[in-house]
Amino acid sequence: MGSRLVVVGGGAAGMSAASAARRTDPALEIVVLEASGYAAYGLCGIPYYLAGSVTSADDLVAYPPTFFRDRRRIDLRLHTSVSHIDPERRHVTVSQDGHERRLGYGSLIVTTGGRPVRPPLPGLDDERVFTIRTLEDAISLRCLLDAGRVGSVLVVGGGYIGLEMAEALAERGAAVTVVEAENQVMPNLDSPVAALVEQEVRRRGVDLRLRTMLHGAERIGDQLAVRVGTQRLVVDAVVLATGVRAASSLAADVGAKTDDTGALLVDSAMRTSLPDVFAAGDCVAPHHRVLGRPAFVPLGPAANKMGRVAGIAAAGGSATFPGVVGTAVVKVFDLAVARTGLTLAEALAEGLPAVATDALGKSRAKYYPGSGPVHVRLVHTNDGRLLGAQVVGVGDGVAKRIDVVAVALQAGLSVADLVAADLSYAPPYAPVYEPVLLAAQAADALATQPDSPVAA
Amino acid sequence: MGSRLVVVGGGAAGMSAASAARRTDPALEIVVLEASGYAAYGLCGIPYYLAGSVTSADDLVAYPPTFFRDRRRIDLRLHTSVSHIDPERRHVTVSQDGHERRLGYGSLIVTTGGRPVRPPLPGLDDERVFTIRTLEDAISLRCLLDAGRVGSVLVVGGGYIGLEMAEALAERGAAVTVVEAENQVMPNLDSPVAALVEQEVRRRGVDLRLRTMLHGAERIGDQLAVRVGTQRLVVDAVVLATGVRAASSLAADVGAKTDDTGALLVDSAMRTSLPDVFAAGDCVAPHHRVLGRPAFVPLGPAANKMGRVAGIAAAGGSATFPGVVGTAVVKVFDLAVARTGLTLAEALAEGLPAVATDALGKSRAKYYPGSGPVHVRLVHTNDGRLLGAQVVGVGDGVAKRIDVVAVALQAGLSVADLVAADLSYAPPYAPVYEPVLLAAQAADALATQPDSPVAA
């Protein structure tokens, strides 16, 4: 019993943890308990499955359950949930097929992920109201779409998930309304950058309403009457995309320490404050390298990396997770929208003497077909410390441009260092005046003339 | 006279230098002498101009001459060549309209660029034999193409310029033969990576002949009979792409120090060994950060950066050029082919204890439309020091993936650091198992198990 590793949750973090544990200790008994009917699925692929560009939900599954069972000797149990951890007696309470029983562990990895925030409003407990957080949710909505029964839809929340959903539903021909309580979309971008995204969303026919709240929904036959702001709309479906919190209660309820957002706190080997209990993925607030403290930034690649470290450490190996810098990219219609590090708003809220420098460049040489605008915002201190970046523009190069700044942040490079970066150039892929370098030059000029007026 | 800045050459480096000098000293007299009829042109755009995707040669010019004359008060003189520098009396000998005269300088910037290597073979001094190094060369070849007079062509040299030319000519419908003396294309790639490029070139119908030399050409009416290897071919044109050397003789002939390839040696402010004579661009061997010494790597972005530093320094300002890591990307039909740092062959030739780790990944999530293979090779020491990378695959993301490694090299990150890089992920732009990180993980596993057998 002492050598059994139990993993709670079979998503990206959980299956990465189990796989890394297997590589670390070929003899270890490894059990993964997953509440849904799917493991190793890509939540990030759901918008493309709904839009129809991905045919089957099975395509979103990285490996089938048999792969883990047969090839990696991982005892993966689907439709199996965990209701309690007893950290003193080292067992979990497992529910499967209506039966509860106890399962002992030598070490435990909690990868319970995120849970959608559901506004406490009347009428939202309806099968036409969706929170897209599991493949099962997505399959239900896709069935409605395939049946031609979603002519109009309300998306609640203008964050990146809300906008991905808006795009997917618009591509299926639905009339889409998005309501966002704040005065900009994507709260993790600075407002001038978010304005570029809003422009694109509206250009593509989405009815975007800022500073507008949902007040409730009411079923009328096959439709829902919703109250948004001062208006009443009738739609075929509602999608809630009002944020995600760490699903940490299983561990937190028995004493695991959390940050003020409720996400689990861990050390660099992904150990929680409970003995032999590790955690990884969206239920964790990992170390943020720019902030220098834990932060809740639930994103897939970090979930995989944290899972790997937790798996190695829980199996007795040695590994550390050095933290995140908060890099993310999302496709919003024809724009790629990316960020890393801190926004200006985040940096100022942190008390840092931050400014932002914007540059507008091209994705390719101006004469090369398909060249389009790329907007780069660098966030930095007055004396040239790099704090973050936002990049919005056309083409696959945006995602990788943000990665250039992500690596620079990880390495502690200054804006002056970034000016000297030896980045690749060829007319089909970049202009000779690379937008990231244009922004770095402008930021460096600001930093070396600290008395000049600074536009933020 | 003492305050006049003279720039020899109006290409990327020269015009960057002149512009930076103007910003540094608004009162300085600045004269740029350019032998051809164009300034600030993009040599890298020539293949796309020949292919027809860029309509006019004027599109390759970043700014027209009037922009420099009127907006930047730079005395740009086209069709004006320099035959001699007198570093003691501080003047250059200028030829314009058949007249020679002297022009004094307070400081001088040499941006004479590269010169194509012409094999010393019979019959190559023919108007149907092209070395594509000036816009004028390109315009002549394009006229022949537009007139439908290039049904078949021989490209001599399988380096990146030869392959870009092969693609451009094939897109115009020409039957293209490429001969390369070595046993692989692109000598700046390791052979397993070059093999992927060869496959693509052949797949697209180019008759690629390795280990094959050109022995000479002979005019037969409107065609050329060429001897390649043991065969005789008859073609409508020959394009020589047999390498580039630094066009350094103007400065070297009067004592400026060069490296063993003939490229000018400079300090970090781009000063040559001659007093008040600076140099920038393809005529220079800049500091190579990975090699830790000067190296001749003639590429556009570095030319711009060096020009900017030379211009600031020559105008009395303060700037330094910290060097290159040798980053480059080229499009070869449907593949993007990129490199940075050292290849395995280069690292071994340098005496470094280097190995290579290869990983094959995807450009996008495997389920996302348009996802294609991306091959990543990392070159590193046995103990995990990063030395370089090569990336070959589909899509714009390849160019920016190499930039991730370029920044990591600049910052001195290890392969273990690269494993932890917080790179962006979304299904349209990257798979959750990012190919660069897959390669870094494999390289790190090698580095932490130094006794295991190592495949290079």
User: Residue B53 has what DSSP assignment?
Assistant: S
Of A368, A406, A430, the CB nearest to B421: A406
From first CA to last CA, the distance across chain B in angstroms is 59
3-state secondary structure B167-178: HHHHHCCCEEEE
| Rounded Cα–Cα distance for residues B258 and B241 (Å) | 24
Question: Can you give the pLDDT at residue B456?
Answer: 35
Residue A148 burial class via C-beta count within 10 angstroms: exposed 0-12, middle 13-18, buried 19 and up: exposed
Contacts of B58 in chain A (CB under 8 A): none
Over pLDDT 90: what percentage of chain A?
89
Q: Read off the tokens for A142.
A: 């896709």
- Say yes or no for a CB contact (<8 Å) between B329 and A60: no
Question: Can you give the pLDDT at residue A333?
Answer: 96
Question: Can you give the pLDDT at residue B449?
Answer: 61
Residues B193, B230 share a domain: yes
Q: For A362-402, what is each residue's pLDDT tens digit?
A: 999 999 999 999 999 999 999 999 999 999 999 889 999 99
Residues B163, B102 share a domain: no
| Confidence bin at B448 (pLDDT 50/70/90) | confident
Structural contact between residues A363 and A395, judged by C-beta atoms closer than 8 angstroms: yes
Q: For A410-452, what is each residue's pLDDT tens digit?
A: 999 999 999 999 999 999 999 988 999 999 999 998 877 644 4
Q: For A227-259, what is each residue's pLDDT tens digit?
A: 999 999 999 999 999 999 999 999 999 999 999
**How far apart, in Å, are the Cα atoms of B376 and each of A62, B398, B408?**
21, 9, 15
> What's the whole-number average pLDDT of chain A?
94
Residues B300, B157 share a domain: no
| Rounded Cα–Cα distance for residues B132 and B51 (Å) | 14
Over pLDDT 90: what percentage of chain B?
89
Q: Read off the tokens for B241.
A: 């792409």
**How far apart, in Å, are the Cα atoms of B253 and each of A134, A262, A325, A399, B394?**
72, 72, 52, 48, 45
Look at residues A183, A214, A242 and tell me which one is the last residue of a structural domain: A242
Q: For residue B333, what are the contacts with CB-CB under 8 A and spacing of at least 6?
A: B167, B200, B201, B203, B204
Work out whether strand A335-341 and strand A386-393 pair parallel, antiparallel, or are unpaired: antiparallel
The answer to whether residue B46 is domain-embedded is no
Q: Where in the sequence is the domain holding A357, given as residue range(s)?
A: 334-448
Residue of B nearest to A333 (CA): B428
Q: What is the dihedral of CA A87, A91, A97, A99, to 10 degrees?
A: -100
Question: Can you give the pLDDT at residue A449?
Answer: 61
3-state class of A325 per DSSP?
Answer: coil
Closest CA of chain B from A56, distance in Å: 9
Contacts of B407 in chain A (CB under 8 A): 404, 407-408, 411, 413, 421, 423
Q: Read off the tokens for A165.
A: 């959903």
Q: For B168-181, what is each residue's pLDDT tens digit?
A: 999 999 999 999 99
Length of chain A: 456
Nearest alpha-carbon partner for A141 in A46, A44, A241, A54: A46
| Rounded Cα–Cα distance for residues A388 and A128 (Å) | 39
Tell me what percent of chain A is helix, strand and coil, each rounded to the nearest 5. Answer: 30, 30, 40
- The domain that holds A421 is classified in CATH as 3.50.50.60
The answer to whether residue A152 is domain-embedded is yes
Of A302, A397, A422, the CB nearest to B396: A397
B38-55 average pLDDT score: 90
| Confidence bin at B74 (pLDDT 50/70/90) | very high
Residues A124, A97 share a domain: no
Number of C-beta neighbours around residue A177 at 10 A:
22
Over pLDDT 70: what percentage of chain A?
98
B55-65 average pLDDT score: 88
**Structural domains counted in chain A:** 3
Q: Which of B268, B342, B402, B407 to mutate to test the interface with A (most CBs of A within 10 A)?
A: B407
Question: Can you give the pLDDT at residue A452?
Answer: 40
Cα angle, residue A424 at apex, residues A394 and B243 outer, rounded to 5°: 135
Q: For B368-386, what is each residue's pLDDT tens digit?
A: 999 999 999 999 999 999 9
The answer to whether residue B325 is domain-embedded is no
User: Residue A263 has what DSSP assignment?
Assistant: P
Region of B119 please: left (phi>0), alpha (psi -120 to 50) or beta.
beta
Of B368, B406, B424, the CB nearest to A328: B424
From B3, B44, B399, B403, the catalytic residue: B44
Residues B135, B103 share a domain: no
Q: Does B12 touch chain A (CB under 8 A)?
A: yes
Q: For residue B403, what are the contacts with CB-CB under 8 A and spacing of at least 6?
A: A400, A401, A403, A404, A421, A423, A424, B327, B340
The answer to whether residue A15 is domain-embedded is yes
The answer to whether residue B227 is domain-embedded is yes
Nearest alpha-carbon partner for B378 in B336, B347, B333, B422: B347
Look at residues B184, B218, B242 and tell me which one is the last residue of a structural domain: B242
Residues B400, B440 share a domain: yes
| Rounded Cα–Cα distance for residues B354 and B383 (Å) | 9
The answer to whether residue B212 is domain-embedded is yes
3-state class of B437 per DSSP?
Answer: helix
Q: Read off the tokens for B271.
A: 């000063």
| Confidence bin at A454 (pLDDT 50/70/90) | very low
| Rounded Cα–Cα distance for residues A394 and A376 (Å) | 12
Residues B238, B124 share a domain: yes
Contacts of A429 in chain B (CB under 8 A): 329, 331, 336, 396, 398-400
Q: For B273-307, what is each residue's pLDDT tens digit?
A: 999 999 999 999 999 999 999 999 999 899 999 99
Nearest alpha-carbon partner for B342 in B386, B282, B306: B386
Q: Is the pLDDT of residue A300 over 90?
A: no
User: Residue A298 has what DSSP assignment?
Assistant: -
Residue of B nearest to A402 (CA): B424
| Rounded Cα–Cα distance for residues A222 and A289 (Å) | 49
Q: In what order do the strands lie in the sheet with B335-341?
A: B328-332, B335-341, B386-393, B373-381, B354-362
Q: Does A416 touch chain B (CB under 8 A)?
A: no
Residues B162, B128 share a domain: yes
The answer to whether residue B49 is domain-embedded is no
Contacts of B299 in chain A (CB under 8 A): 425
Q: Read off the tokens for B265.
A: 């040696």
| Rounded Cα–Cα distance for residues A276 and A178 (Å) | 44
3-state class of B208 per DSSP?
Answer: strand
Q: For B82-105, what is each residue's pLDDT tens digit?
A: 999 999 999 999 998 889 999 999
3-state class of B255 per DSSP?
Answer: coil
Q: Does B402 touch chain A (CB under 8 A)?
A: yes
Contacts of B369 in chain A (CB under 8 A): 53
Residues B238, B150 share a domain: yes
Residues B133, B109 share a domain: no
Residues 420-439 of B with CB under 8 A from A: 420-430, 432-434
Is the confidence metric ipTM above 0.90 for this complex?
yes
Q: Is the pLDDT of residue A62 over 80?
A: yes
Q: For A160-199, what is each residue's pLDDT tens digit?
A: 999 999 999 999 999 999 999 999 999 999 999 999 999 9
Tell me what percent of chain B is helix, strand and coil, each rounded to the nearest 5. Answer: 30, 30, 40
Q: For B310-328, what is each residue's pLDDT tens digit?
A: 999 999 999 999 999 999 9
Number of C-beta neighbours around residue A329 at 10 A:
26
| Rounded Cα–Cα distance for residues A9 and A109 (Å) | 9
Q: For B221-275, what is each residue's pLDDT tens digit?
A: 999 999 999 999 999 999 999 999 999 999 999 999 999 999 999 999 999 999 9
Question: Can you give the pLDDT at residue B1?
Answer: 43
The answer to whether residue B259 is domain-embedded is yes
3-state class of B359 per DSSP?
Answer: strand
| Rounded Cα–Cα distance for residues A188 and A339 (Å) | 8
Give, for A198, the enclosing helix (H) or strand (E): helix A191-203
Residues B37, B178 share a domain: no
Contacts of B300 in chain A (CB under 8 A): 425, 432
Residues A295, A273 share a domain: yes
Active site residue A44: yes
Residues 298-357 of B with CB under 8 A from A: 299-302, 304-305, 321-331, 336, 338, 340
Q: For A313-350, what is each residue's pLDDT tens digit?
A: 999 999 999 999 999 999 999 999 999 999 999 999 99
Of B12, B407, B428, the CB nearest to A331: B428
Q: Is the pLDDT of residue B42 over 80?
A: no
Question: Can you give the pLDDT at residue B61?
Answer: 87
Look at residues A219, A242, A265 and tell me which one is the last residue of a structural domain: A242
> What's the whole-number average pLDDT of chain B?
94
Structural contact between residues A188 and A340, judged by C-beta atoms closer than 8 angstroms: no
Region of B174 please: left (phi>0), alpha (psi -120 to 50) or beta.
beta
- Say yes or no for a CB contact (<8 Å) between B404 and A399: no
- Say yes or no for a CB contact (<8 Å) between B400 and A397: yes
